[in-house]
Structures are given as structure tokens and as C-alpha cells.
Amino acid sequence: MKRRIFAIVAVVALAVAGTVAASASSGRSGTMHLTARFTRVIGLYQGNDVRVLGVKIGQIDSLKVEGTYVVVKMSYDGKYKLPADVGAVLVPPSVVSDRYIQLTPAYQGGPTLPDNALLDVDRTVVPLEFDEIFKNLDQLNRALGPNGANAHGALSRLVDVSAANLDGNGAALNGALKEFSAAISTLAGSRGNLFDTVRQLQQFTTMLAQNDGGIRALNGNLAKVGSQLAGERKDLGAALANLSTALQLVSSFVGDNRTRLTSDISKLTSVTNILTKEKKAIAEVVDMAPYALSNLSLAYDPKAHTLDTLDAASQAFAHPTGPNGLFCQLSGNSPIPGLHQALCAKSAVTVRSFSDLLTVKP
């Protein structure tokens, strides 16, 4: 008997432990409550279903108008978890049947919606009614009808012209659509580079905007140049025509004398090499040529038609001192201070003996 009582107590304890464990694992039990605000709830009544993925988990408890929206209170079984960002959608299953509220998305992990949560109008969705759809279709029909866009047959002509243009071009249109789709895919794959390009264009346009004055001046100058060229277009045309003729003649000349030109250019290369090697001598000749020509013109006697020269040696010995004297030329590096300046003075010093030379005062 004691064994039976002990077994029964053990079974009850295990059942209680299992229930507690299940409650602890779910963390939720009982009925949960939820409030949602809709802009309108046509066809929704108290007692209608509350569903998740089409499965009923609760019902509508009450509906109440508050200002410009309708407050819908609902309850659902606590064993069903809802995500913290859940939304409520009013679903019309058919034309005549009652509507229900679908809670979406389904819970897949993460934070859960607490009890007595409130979903504002930004988290609720109401479908368009059939009368609204028909009204919009009627407005579209009237806008495209004989009293609207087709009042003068424009829409009809558009349809006729489109039909005529597309007749027989189905394959080409299909290919164009495929190519356009491929281009869109390429742009989507290169959106990073595209955005960089747009960014660079934005920087370029910003730079142009910051330099608006300079750009305006440039455009003005270009306009003036264009006007001037337009005024001189006849002369410019004639010059271009002459240039074309000259280029043709040059081309013919080069073609006819290709061998000789090659030989001349080769010889010219040799000449230029020699000139390059002797550039210092040539530079010296060029520097001294003006002086030589000037002296030559001064030495020419137009009356006697002769070139007169000066015996520098005899002059140097005749007047040993002075700017052109022999002593002036020889005393250039003299260690005696002031000797060179005294012997090269404009007023020559008379030197009769070596002692006179030594007594020359600066």
C-alpha cells in the first residue's frame, strides 16, 4: 500500500514539475492583450478573428472611435509570441465574408511584444475598398475618354501610331528590353562607381558655380571669337583652301623627292653634328664678328680706296707709356703698387732712362 502511495505521489510530482518546466521554458501563459489604431475598419466586428500566418490565435474584443481613428482592442493566446515590431493588417478574405486582423510578421526570435502593447496608425494597414477602386477606375476612364485626353482624338492617334510603329518590330522591341535590363543590371553592379561619378560631377558643378564670373567672361570671349571668325569666314575659308592646296603640293613634292630628301636630311645630320661640336668656336665668331666688321669699316679709306692699318709695335716703342704703350702692356702683373696705372695713364710719361721708369709715381 505504501508503495502505491509513493508511486502516485511521484507521478503527481513529475507532472507538476513538467508543467512548471513548460511554463518556465515558454515564459508566457494565459491571455495576452493588444490595442491597435486604424484609420477605418469597414466590415470588422467584435468577435472577428485575430490571426498569424492565417492561423487564428485570438479575437476582437471591442471597437471604439476616438477622434480620426478607430481603437481596436484584441486578445490572443499567450503561448504565441509576437515580435516587438509586429504590425496589424485588416484583411478582406472575400467580397461578402467577415474580415479579420492579421498580425505580421511571425515571430522568428529576438524581443517579443509585451502585454497590453499599443500599435499606432503607422503600424496598421487598411486595404482599399472596392468602391474606391471602382471610383479611381472611373476617374481614369473619364480622363482618357472623349471628354478628356481623347477630346480631339489625340489618344486614338497615339494608339494607332504606336500600333503602326510596333507592327513587325516585336523581336527588336524584345531585344531592346533585354538589353535595357542588362544595362540596368550592370548599373546596379557598378553602383559604387556610378555614385563616385555623380559625386565628382557634383564637385565639378560646385566648382563651376563658385567660378561663375570667370566662366561668364570665358563664354563672352568665346562668343566674341566666334563672332570675329563668323565675320572673317570668307578670308578664313580662303586661307584654309590655300593651306589645303599648299599641303597637297608639299605632299606631292615629298612623294616625288623622297630619295633626295632622305639623302639631304642624312647630310644635314652630319652638318648639324659638326656645328654641335664647334658650337664654342661658332659662338666666339658670332661674338667677335660685329667688332671685326666695325674695325674693317673704320680702316677703309673711301678716298684712297685702301685699308689703313696701324703699326702697333712701332707705336709701342715710340710711346712706351700711355694706354697703348709697351710698358703699359708689360706691367699688367707688376708687383710694384700703382705702376700699371701710372704707365697706362692717358697722358704718357716721358721715360728717358731706367731710373725714370723707377721714379714713376702712381
Q: pLDDT for 252-263, tens place per residue?
A: 888 888 888 888
> Cα separation of 251 and 217, whole Å?
41
Q: What mean pLDDT do residues 37-59 have?
A: 91
In a domain, 2, yes or no: no
> Cα separation of 111 and 83, whole Å?
6
For the chain, first and last CA: distance in Å? 158
Q: What mean pLDDT do residues 98-106 have?
A: 90
Share of the chain above pLDDT 90, in %: 22
Tell me what the pLDDT averaged over the chain comes to.
Answer: 78
Task: Say how many domains are in the chain.
Answer: 4
How does residue 71 score in pLDDT terms, banded at 50, 70 and 90? very high
Report the range out of 1-5, 50-54, 314-318, 337-341 with the highest average pLDDT.
Answer: 50-54
In whole angstroms, how far apart are CA 12 and each of 16, 106, 158, 296?
A: 6, 36, 83, 144
pLDDT score, position 347: 47
In a domain, 345, yes or no: yes
For residue 236, is pLDDT > 60?
A: yes
In a domain, 291, yes or no: no
Q: 60 forms bridges with which residues in the sheet?
A: 74
Task: For the chain, give the number of residues.
Answer: 362
* Residues 6 or more apart in contact with residue 66 via CB below 8 angstroms: 37
In a domain, 302, yes or no: no
Q: What's the pTM value of the predicted model, to 2 decimals? A: 0.36
pLDDT score, position 88: 94
User: Regarding predicted confidence, which is higher, 112 or 15?
Assistant: 112
Looking at the fold, whether 33 and 127 belong to one and the same domain comes out as yes
pLDDT in tens, 118-167: 999 999 998 877 666 777 787 787 777 777 777 777 778 888 888 888 78
| Nearest CA among 77, 102, 78 for reference residue 89 | 102
Structural domain of 318: 312-358
Which residue, of 131, 165, 188, is where some domain finishes? 131
Q: What mean pLDDT do residues 34-56 have?
A: 91
Looking at the fold, whether 59 and 80 belong to one and the same domain comes out as yes
In a domain, 81, yes or no: yes
For residue 183, is pLDDT > 80?
A: yes
Q: Exposure pattern of 229-260 as b/e (b: 16+ CB <10 Å)?
A: eeeeeeeeeeeeeeeeeeeeeeeeeeeeeeee
Looking at the fold, whether 36 and 115 belong to one and the same domain comes out as yes
Question: Up-side HSE of residue 213: CA atoms within 13 Å toward CB?
Answer: 0
Looking at the fold, whether 51 and 86 belong to one and the same domain comes out as yes
**SS3 breakdown of the chain: % helix, strand, coil, rounded to 5?**
55, 15, 30
Which residue, of 131, 155, 187, is where some domain finishes? 131
In a domain, 335, yes or no: yes
For residue 356, is pLDDT > 70?
A: no
In a domain, 182, yes or no: yes
Looking at the fold, whether 263 and 178 belong to one and the same domain comes out as no
Query: How many CB atoms sit inside 10 A of residue 119's CB?
Result: 19
Looking at the fold, whether 33 and 106 belong to one and the same domain comes out as yes
Looking at the fold, whether 193 and 233 belong to one and the same domain comes out as no
In a domain, 306, yes or no: no
Looking at the fold, whether 115 and 74 belong to one and the same domain comes out as yes
Looking at the fold, whether 347 and 324 belong to one and the same domain comes out as yes
